[in-house]
Structure 1
């Protein structure tokens, strides 16, 4: 709290703004020396330089908005990317929501998107420091964004979703131990507030509940829409939507965000698997959100592909296929999973840059790479995969 008091002064905030980007250890050291030479205390310098470094890292999630925000290390790590939060806000607006309670708001990532979309936001966090930073980050929205320090349970709306209401809840249960720096994950039984409380709330009020993408599927209530979200190749979250925020006849969804574009697969239930086919001219790797949502079968049928193996999430086809829901590779050759044989083939092809993927094969890619003695200007992808009871190394090119 003392560091926050140091930081929330005009002098310190001007100093953070003046440092600009601090992207390396050397840049941080130079900033420390400069500020100390100007006569600032060690506490002042630590707070200012630490915040400048966090702002630099935050640009990946918040873009140019990061340069007027304040962060803690843990708060930044757990914050929703602004592009993803904007999708949450869009769903709220499309459902006719005008007011949202953001319970467990963290440093205010989602609340920023809600307020930016014209919604009136009440943001709540149990940690006093985090709530103070959220208040600073949301200050430009004035009375349209109120921040409160307290427990989610004490600030949840109690209204029923009658179809005419305009209030909704965004709930991000704490899934890590308390703290502003080093934290660790806790089991689902120890989330705060508890999932039982969260699901009961979702039964009364239209709610979006943000969870980790690996959350136990068996613990997902049957009456909500489960949407897995990936952003630029990383599966970042699972959101459970209830009430008017859940779409009719949708219980499984995979939202794939690439840059400023978004694509979605939806279904009423897990998709039936596609038939298994022999390896064809192309291999397709479904996006992680599609895999998590168990919509691989629908993707396969959409691109006229089959499964390489009933237990392995790779698809294959004889014809090329373009889809935002999968990465595609053109097969060069199939080799045994033998480093010497693979190294000889790579040397012959002049491949010096190699992407290694694996599924169903107990191989450490980093250790395997060291055995290949890569040289040359070419590049390729090596897919180590089990098909049936045999291991294969598929040398391929990204399409």
Structure 2
């Protein structure tokens, strides 16, 4: 029986790497976007069903992968789940640079859950010697192919093995990206990771230095006390969290913004609540996850609208990559009738709706507002000193 994973056949995948398979893959790439049945019918005139399916699957995955890997996607190989769980190239590159910066020479890294190899490629390109393992033979074949395609392959070895069996003490750095999917789909429980959290922590305890990729929503109680937790945002969207141990940071919290490379560490400053000013600032999600709202408020000389909600208000405009700024045109107690009347009076027919600390269903509200007009606005649903409120803000100019 052929070994399969995520509708990709191992034998057919290996055939993709042969000269004949490469011709099939090139033809499949030319058919991207065509009717699937017509594309398969055309390729079946030359290739068998397994190779046709593998080539068309890879061609489609490469198109989807461009958002994460850019031009490299055209040379890489994937499985559907492997692509979904892979690290965006810019994020992997940032992490690899941090790993290398902690060593005078290229460190020896054990990648204990390598997946399709996005991180091992970034680590190798940064100068690391990477020994990588994954429990799934197909995934290992894909990672090897990617290391060969994007290299430098001479710095990488990939083997089939259970992460629990590796010896992190034989390497300078442990890197681990435990799988966050079960048979029922994505999981947010670290105990359901593969390998499970206790196994991951055992590996960390035996490593001189460790770097763990985890979901950005990881419960804070699972973060080791001696780990620096770094939340990474890419173009305003929080992508992941990374836990660093043994790197001399001694714990703490940090947020990083990509592609700009801005980084903010916790200083312990606490923001206080105060009256609504002329502006409202929406901190980047990485700063919110890292509990750095106080640090952002200090940057803009601001205060919180509510002690429990991450919206900052201030009297003056301050440019910062750490928060989006909106000029407040009106502040209302939340009332559908009042909000609808105010928007109609202002001839606002197009709104961007944001919320924190509000139970209002945004799409239902959009329908209930019955918008009509040529003007635009940003509506923020939140609480102000524990009272449901709405801010009507001017649309900011393009960045």
TM-score between both structures, scaled by the size of structure 1: 0.89
Q: Tell me what 1:267 maps to.
A: 266
State the 1:190 CA deviation. Answer: 2.8
1:285-316 residue CA offsets vs partner (Å, 9 max, x unmatched): 11111111111111111210001100111000
Q: Tell me what 1:230 maps to.
A: 233
Q: Tell me what 2:43 maps to.
A: 35
CA-based RMSD: 2.2
| 1:280 pairs with 2:268 | no
Q: 1:39 to 1:341 in 2, by over 3 A?
A: farther
> Does the 8 Å CA contact 1:107/1:134 hold for their aligned counterparts?
yes
State the 1:45 CA deviation. Answer: 3.0
> Does the 8 Å CA contact 1:131/1:149 hold for their aligned counterparts?
yes
Quick one: distance in 1 between partners of 2:229 and 2:80? Answer: 29
Secondary structure of 1:276's counterpart equals coil
Instruction: Provide the aligned length of Structure 1 versus Structure 2.
Output: 382
State the 1:358 CA deviation. Answer: 1.0
> Does the 8 Å CA contact 1:250/1:266 hold for their aligned counterparts?
no
1:235-285 residue CA offsets vs partner (Å, 9 max, x unmatched): 111111111x343x661101111xx321111126xx343111111111111
Q: Tell me what 1:221 maps to.
A: 224
Quick one: distance in 2 between partners of 1:352 and 1:41? Answer: 56
TM-score between both structures, scaled by the size of structure 2: 0.89
Q: 1:91 to 1:27 in 2, by over 3 A?
A: farther
Structure 2: state its 5+ residue gaps: none
Quick one: distance in 1 between partners of 2:300 and 2:357? Answer: 23
> Does the 8 Å CA contact 1:23/1:57 hold for their aligned counterparts?
no
Structure 2 matches for 1:179-218, cutoff 5 A?
Answer: 183-185=185-187, 187-203=189-205, 204-218=207-221
> Does the 8 Å CA contact 2:24/2:51 hold for their aligned counterparts?
no
State the 1:184 CA deviation. Answer: 3.2
Q: 1:29 to 1:336 in 2, by over 3 A?
A: farther
Once the two structures are overlaid, the 10-residue window that deviates more, 217-226 or 100-109, is: 217-226
Quick one: distance in 1 between partners of 2:188 and 2:345? Answer: 49
Once the two structures are overlaid, the 10-residue window that deviates more, 114-123 or 377-386, is: 377-386
State the 1:30 CA deviation. Answer: 4.7
> Does the 8 Å CA contact 2:86/2:118 hold for their aligned counterparts?
yes
> Does the 8 Å CA contact 1:103/1:156 hold for their aligned counterparts?
no
> Does the 8 Å CA contact 1:250/1:267 hold for their aligned counterparts?
no
> Does the 8 Å CA contact 1:300/1:306 hold for their aligned counterparts?
yes
Secondary structure of 1:362's counterpart equals coil
Quick one: distance in 2 between partners of 1:397 and 1:108? Answer: 44
1:374-393 residue CA offsets vs partner (Å, 9 max, x unmatched): 34443221101112232111
State the 1:186 CA deviation. Answer: 5.9
**Residue 7 of structure 1, aligned match among 10, 13, 28:** 13
Secondary structure of 2:394's counterpart equals strand
> Does the 8 Å CA contact 1:79/1:109 hold for their aligned counterparts?
yes
| 1:147 pairs with 2:144 | no
Quick one: distance in 1 between partners of 2:21 and 2:324? Answer: 46
Structure 1: state its 5+ residue gaps: 160-165
Q: Tell me what 1:169 maps to.
A: 174
Q: Tell me what 1:112 maps to.
A: 121
Secondary structure of 1:75's counterpart equals helix
State the 1:188 CA deviation. Answer: 1.8
**Residue 125 of structure 1, aligned match among 134, 142, 145:** 134
Quick one: distance in 1 between partners of 2:30 and 2:165? Answer: 39
Secondary structure of 2:369's counterpart equals coil
Q: Tell me what 1:162 maps to.
A: none
